[in-house]
Amino acid sequence: FLSLVAEFCFGFFVILILGKFWFLAVLYLLWLYFDWETPCMGGRRSQWVRSWTVWKYFREYFPIHLIKTSDLSPNHNYLFGFHPHGVLVAGAFGNFCTESSFKNLFPGLTPYLHIMPIWFSCPFFREYVMSAGMVSASKESVSYVLNNEGGGHVSVIVIGGAEEALNAHPGSLTLNILKRKGFIKMALKHGAHLVPVFSFGENELFKQVSNPKGSWLRNVQEKLQKIMGFAIPLFHARGVFQYSFGLIPYRQPIHTVVGSPIPVKRNLNPTTEEIDQLHTLYLQELRQLFEEHKRNYGIPEHKSLIFE
């Protein structure tokens, strides 16, 4: 979805350059030069954009629900670890980038969804994603959000990243997380409380072409992901007037469950052992969150999360 919008924005920019309104493109490039660091400095959100009526229909289409399991004090900053990535990351976008039930469930907190820095290189598209509350996933950007002395800021990071999108098959419960410890280090350096978030139904929105590890397709996808920075899953779902083939996601409910906070004391220079210890605790809390709620959302009793 993001890539389609980005292509449209880039195409519009090219038309400006080649057309008689080329001077507007030049002015925008000048603006881009001076505004380049904004995605790493909290972005530029717009309540008007976040409140567009289209997002209400977007949330109701699946529908998307946000479930609270614990109160979160606005006196602290938090790092939400979002799982799984899925193909669309619909739960993260619907709950944290639109005016959903988040502000009612967690008053005093402002969420920032971190996405790959490459998206902010696309003309006009960067303005759109920032207006929705998205910021760069760079270390500088996460530090800026979590460094709010008054508290009340939430960094939402899709931990599995682009690599995990290649595992987004219906029924899949595989998370790319064992080697991902950067978010743990950031939480320690800023004293941000860690909160595991699991979005039930995220992997059910599309059917992806079979790409088991070791297959030629998976090898090609992984090589392209390393080169370009984002994955290219081959997927399909339903059409507008038929349900057999198309790119419109299936109408499957998404329940994004926000877990209890893991208190974190600020440690500017955490050791490897301290990072590993907190990472292990986070995995335990994430697994417990999944086990406590899986029965409510159609996950068979014998199925559990797989960490890779």
* Cα dihedral 108/158/114/119 (nearest 10): -150
- 10 or 34: which leads in pLDDT: 34
**What is the pLDDT of the chain when averaged over all its residues?**
91
pLDDT for 6 beyond 70: no
pLDDT for 188 beyond 60: yes
Residue 245 amino acid letter: F
Q: Please, what is the Cα angle at 270 between 266 and 272, to 5 degrees?
A: 145
Q: Please, what is the Cα angle at 94 between 208 and 151, to 5 degrees?
A: 125
Return the pLDDT at 221: 85
pLDDT for 280 beyond 60: yes
90/115 Cα distance (integer angstroms): 13
| Band of residue 241 on the pLDDT scale cut at 50, 70, 90 | confident
What is the residue extent of each domain of the chain?
1-35, 40-307
> Could you tell me which residues are beta bridge partners of residue 66?
256
Least confident of 10-24, 143-157, 178-192: 10-24
Return the pLDDT at 5: 62
| Rounded percentage of the chain residues whose pLDDT exceeds 90 | 71
pLDDT for 81 beyond 90: yes
pLDDT for 46 beyond 70: yes
pLDDT for 214 beyond 70: yes
Please state the pTM of the whole predicted model.
0.91
Measuring CA to CA, which residue among 257, 231, 210 is closest to residue 64? 257
